[in-house]
Structure formats: C-alpha cells, structure tokens
Amino acid sequence: MWVYEKRLQYPVKITKTCPKTAQLIISQYGGPDGELSASMRYLSQRFTMPCKKVGGLLTDIGTEELAHLEIICSMIYQLTKNLTVEEAKTAGFDAYYIDHAKGIWPQAASSLPFTSIEFQSKGDVFADLHEDLAAEQKARATYDNLLRMIKDPEVREPLKFLRAREIVHFQRFGEAIEMTKKELDSKNFYYFNPEFDCNNFTEQK
C-alpha cells in the first residue's frame, strides 16, 4: 500500500523550454537504467528475499525510486510545457511529438520504449542483489553523461541530487549482501538458493 504526498522529493522549477534536454533526460524515466526500471526491479525482487530486513530495504528504495521517476517526469513536463511545433522540429523532438505531443511516455533517449526486459527478478538473492549494485552504477553513469552535456543549472541541480542517491543506494545494497551472507555458511555461500530451497534456510532473528 502506498500513500501519496503532494510534493516532489527534490524541488523542480525549470523556466526555459528545451525539448532537446527533455529528449535526453527521458532516458532516466523509461530507459534501460532509468528510475522506472529501478523501482520495478526492487519492488519485484523483494517478495522472495530470504532476509526480512533486505525485503524491507528493497521496499524503501523501490519507493524512493518512484519519487525519482516523478522528479524526472516533472522535469520533462516543465521543459516542454510551452513547446511550439517549430521548436519541436529544430530540437530533434519532432519524432516524439508526432506520437505523444507533450504527453509524458516512458522511453529511452534512443526512443526505445520502456520494457521489463531491462531488469531481472531472478529468485536468487545473490544474483538479484548483484544486479541491484550494477543497476545503481549504471544509473550513476547515465547521470554523469547527462551532467557532461547539460548546462542549465535549473536542470543540473535535480540531476546532481539524483546521482548522489545512486551512490547511497549502492552502499545500502552492499550492506544487504553482507546481511545476507551473515545468514549463510561462509564456507560456501552458493550451497543452496535460500529463496527456493527454503527448507535449508532459517533466518536468525
């Protein structure tokens, strides 16, 4: 269950129309390493986590990622809300405009539509948590790429905030791996799959 709060996690106020920038940052909404993928990844993986605390962490980070895709969408919206058809033509936003006008739709910068193929819920705790570590790094790298290219401070500030979150989340997923290792036999972490071979696994408090 979720309860909506009528505000963003980080304030977004962009005054200059720029469809080109919108077309780049949309990747962090619906792209391969975007916030939508991130949220769905963690919120899907959490159900079968053998450690209760790790399931809780995935819920909290997955929830924060929902707030992040709301930030990205707000940025795209504000970058294009006063868009004219002439601007759409010159800034390379024309193809998106034909399909969506100013509507917000999850796709990558390359225009590939959002797809769940971009993330995995493997039903294996180490496979999943390592994917999560990699996902945070890929998202961080995407924000780095955006920050190299985008100059408008009104756009950069929220991007910098979101980039910083990837690093914190990476640390937390690392700690989740340590918490899981503690529950297993350190002589062979791979002896069984605690998400599937449940009979072999009892979580200590």
Q: Verify binding: residue 174, another protein, rule CB under 8 A.
A: yes
39-47, 108-116, 181-189, 194-202 -> range binding another protein (CB under 8 A): 181-189
What single letter denotes the amino acid at residue 63? T
Give the Cα separation of 133 and 41 in Å (integer): 12
Strand partners, 113: 107
Q: Verify binding: residue 6, another protein, rule CB under 8 A.
A: yes
Give the Cα separation of 110 and 177 in Å (integer): 33
Q: Verify binding: residue 9, another protein, rule CB under 8 A.
A: yes
Q: Verify binding: residue 2, another protein, rule CB under 8 A.
A: no
Per-residue contact track with another protein, 131 to 170, x per CB under 8 A?
--x---------xx--xx----x--x---xxxxxx-xxxx
Give the Cα separation of 111 and 203 in Å (integer): 44
User: Nearest approach, Cβ of 137 to another protein (angstroms)?
Assistant: 12
Q: Verify binding: residue 179, another protein, rule CB under 8 A.
A: yes
Sequence-distant (6+) residues with CB within 8 A of 36 are 29, 30, 65, 69, 106, 114
Q: Which is nearer to another protein, 52 or 89 (CB)?
A: 52
The kind and range of the H/E element at 160 are helix 153-182
Q: Verify binding: residue 109, another protein, rule CB under 8 A.
A: no
Q: Which is nearer to another protein, 118 or 132 (CB)?
A: 132
Per-residue contact track with another protein, 66 to 105, x per CB under 8 A?
----x--xx--xx---------------------------
17-25, 33-41, 111-119, 188-196 -> range binding another protein (CB under 8 A): 188-196
From the list 183, 165, 193, the residue with the least C-alpha distance to 54 is: 183
Give the Cα separation of 122 and 95 in Å (integer): 35
Asked if residue 10 lies in contact with residue 68, where contact means CB atoms within 8 angstroms, the answer is no
Give the CA distances from residue 154 to residues 9, 13, 71, 103, in Å, rounded to whole numbers and listed in that order. Answer: 16, 7, 13, 21
Q: Which is nearer to another protein, 20 or 160 (CB)?
A: 160
Binding site for another protein (CB under 8 A): 3-14, 53, 56-57, 60-61, 64, 70, 73-74, 77-78, 126, 130, 133, 143-144, 147-148, 153, 156, 160-165, 167-179, 181, 186-190
